[in-house]
């Protein structure tokens, strides 16, 4: 479940106060994956006669409506399908071992191709990229809604994720270049941030309503109904901005990182149907590790890397990205298994399941407002982020004790609120600190890496947790058979519950490991842009001496 958007509240506040565009994620004022910003109009080639950064006032708000609709489509599809998944599994008759691929196929394609998405708009132009992305997303949605098999559904979700990776950076870049007046920009980004923050909750409710009263297929078909309006709006309102100058794309790096991530996810999933000692499973995991290692090595050597390693050299940024990886790994699977638990064990309807998640989302949003403000300044990420992860871990350990007849009001509700508070204290501020002090030339790739970290972590975590849950269920059933008992429906239900509780337990372990590692990685001080070193409690320290890179640049 994609709970956040890389547009941080810190950036929103800065924009509302009229600060420079350089602080905005996905925007770069030099050569980058997303091209030049509105502050460098000489590098922008326009088709259609409109000047960069000078959109007619009466058109800007219509453009905002178009971009808001596109953003809503992207956010909806991170949650809407989860609620419909149990019904879709029964309709298409795919196994428990296969079900995580409906989630991971989307998040893996989204995360691994996000670094490429912005570069495409440099080549084809942003209006064309937006229309192309929406068209491809609609094709994937229609294919998924009409799916007659599990394979067809996974292919459709992969197409959706790939085109979402094209849409996400283009939408934010267009929003930045359209609203250049500080006052209007603050209003526009406030609306945009509200859509990003509430889209997940809307997806949960809409997914439940469509699944209960229409069909699970309409959780995908709904995009076909929504998309024609923003496509027409983009064609009528937007000019086709594109960069006249951009760095070459690292295609070999793109292949290495995508193939490496896929091998890891496939290896974890394959372990459920075989074993951890299976040659094919071990081979896929080893291949994934090798490909990713080669990717890191190449990024340090080539002139125009897909992911400049200097972005990861800052300990605050590295700790924030690790937080998103571990949180993504721990939460994506939890939402999947909690959905199944509520519907198959407690008998909740899809609508009731969507409503059941709202207290978690509400707690997360409320705590995020505090954690991104004075709490981050007072405590700093080194103390606050690991504490939030430990709180989420304790709540997940509590979920490990759910039973066949657990009460939602007295047991599940407080636990879900605690998870929301923990995520609000850890994940939400990590989006802000992940781009803190980033160099202007690296703003785009740093912001894209933020989304990539969460999506990739979610893909790996979902596959791993599904394997661990399946193994726990199989062990329980094997013990029943060995004891001479007959596997009745009640026994099978207990085995299924054992798998869910195992997933909750291991999710908690993932958060504990993440808390320990991030607590060690986060520094006690943060270096901001301009060389000023500031402890996040507000005190200033002398600036660090400049370090010379391999290329001789400071």
* Contact between residue 101 and residue 215 where contact means Cβ atoms under 8 Å apart: no
β-bridge mates for residue 534, sequence order: 526, 540
Tell me the C-alpha to C-alpha distance, in Å, between residue 362 and each of 216, 312, 380, 399, 422. Answer: 25, 32, 24, 19, 12
- φ/ψ region of 265 (left if φ > 0, alpha if ψ in -120 to 50, else beta) reads alpha
Q: Where are the alpha helices (H) located in 49-99, listed in sequence order?
A: 57-76, 80-92
Distance CA 407, CA 410 (A): 6
* C-alpha torsion angle, residues 416, 422, 426, 432 (rounded to 10): 60
Show Cβ contacts of residue 238 under 8 Å, excluding neighbours closer than 6 positions.
63, 66, 126, 127, 130, 174
Q: Give tens-digit pLDDT for 4-63.
A: 443 334 444 444 444 433 333 333 333 333 333 333 333 334 444 344 444 555 688 888
Residue with the bigger pLDDT between 25 and 417: it is 417
The secondary structure of 144-190, three-state, reads: HHCCCCHHHHHHHHHHHHHHHHHHHHHHHHHHHHHCCCHHHHHHHHH
Distance CA 346, CA 340 (A): 9
Tell me the C-alpha to C-alpha distance, in Å, between residue 370 and each of 98, 127, 320, 366, 389. Answer: 39, 37, 18, 7, 16
Q: Give tens-digit pLDDT for 214-255.
A: 999 999 999 999 999 999 998 888 776 655 556 677 788 888
| 150-178 vs 80-92: helix crossing angle, rounded to 10 | 160
> Highest mean pLDDT range out of 53-67, 103-117, 156-170, 453-467?
156-170
Q: Give tens-digit pLDDT for 425-438.
A: 998 888 778 767 76
* Contact between residue 85 and residue 339 where contact means Cβ atoms under 8 Å apart: yes
C-alpha triplet 485, 489, 494: angle, nearest 5°? 80
β-bridge mates for residue 44, sequence order: 243
């Amino acid at each position: 479940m994609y709970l956040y958007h890389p547009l941080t509240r810190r950036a929103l506040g800065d924009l509302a106060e009229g600060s420079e565009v350089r602080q905005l994620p996905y925007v770069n004022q030099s050569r980058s994956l997303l091209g030049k910003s509105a502050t460098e109009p000489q590098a922008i080639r326009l088709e259609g006669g409109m000047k960069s950064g000078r959109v007619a006032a009466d058109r800007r708000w219509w453009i905002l409506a178009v971009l808001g609709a596109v953003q809503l489509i992207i956010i909806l599809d991170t949650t809407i399908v989860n609620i419909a998944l149990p019904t879709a599994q029964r309709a298409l008759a795919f196994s428990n071992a296969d079900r995580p691929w409906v989630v991971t196929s989307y998040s893996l394609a989204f995360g691994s191709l996000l670094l490429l998405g912005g570069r495409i708009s440099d080549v084809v132009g942003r209006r064309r990229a937006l229309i192309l992305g929406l068209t491809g997303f609609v094709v994937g949605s229609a294919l998924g809604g009409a799916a007659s098999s599990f394979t067809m559904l996974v292919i459709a979700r992969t197409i959706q994720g790939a085109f979402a990776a094209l849409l996400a950076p283009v939408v934010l870049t267009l929003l930045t270049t359209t609203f250049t007046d500080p006052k209007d920009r603050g209003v526009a980004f406030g609306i945009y941030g509200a859509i990003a923050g509430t889209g997940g909750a809307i997806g949960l409710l809409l997914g439940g309503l469509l699944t209960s009263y229409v069909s699970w297929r309409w959780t995908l078909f709904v995009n076909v109904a929504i998309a024609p309006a923003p496509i027409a709006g983009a064609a009528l309102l937007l000019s086709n901005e594109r960069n006249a100058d951009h760095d070459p794309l690292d295609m070999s790096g793109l292949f290495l990182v995508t193939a490496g991530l896929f091998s890891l996810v496939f290896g974890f999933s394959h372990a459920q149907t075989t074993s951890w000692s299976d040659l094919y499973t071990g081979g896929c995991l080893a291949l994934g590790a090798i490909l990713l290692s080669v990717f890191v090595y190449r990024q340090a050597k080539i002139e125009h890397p897909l992911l400049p390693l200097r972005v990861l050299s800052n300990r605050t940024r590295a700790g924030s990205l690790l937080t998103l990886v571990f949180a993504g790994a721990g939460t994506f699977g939890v939402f999947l298994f909690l959905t199944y638990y509520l519907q198959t064990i407690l008998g909740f309807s899809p609508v009731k399941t969507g409503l059941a998640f709202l207290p978690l989302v509400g707690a997360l949003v409320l705590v995020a407002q505090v954690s991104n403000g004075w709490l981050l300044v007072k405590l700093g990420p080194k103390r606050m982020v690991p504490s939030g992860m430990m709180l989420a871990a304790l709540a997940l350990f509590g979920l490990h004790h759910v039973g066949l007849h657990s009460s939602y009001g007295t047991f599940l509700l407080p636990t879900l609120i605690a998870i929301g508070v923990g995520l609000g204290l850890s994940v939400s501020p990590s989006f802000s600190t992940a781009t803190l002090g980033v160099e202007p030339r690296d703003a785009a790739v740093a912001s894209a890496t933020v989304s990539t970290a969460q999506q990739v972590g979610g893909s790996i975590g979902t596959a791993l947790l599904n394997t661990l849950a399946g193994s726990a269920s199989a062990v329980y059933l094997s013990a029943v058979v060995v004891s001479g008992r007959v596997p009745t429906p009640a026994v099978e239900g207990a085995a299924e519950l054992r798998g869910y509780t195992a997933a909750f337990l291991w999710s908690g372990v993932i958060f504990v490991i993440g808390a320990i590692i991030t607590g060690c990685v986060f520094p006690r001080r943060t270096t901001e842009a301009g060389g000023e070193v500031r402890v996040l409690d507000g005190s200033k320290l002398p600036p660090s001496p400049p370090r010379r890179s391999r290329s001789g640049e400071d």
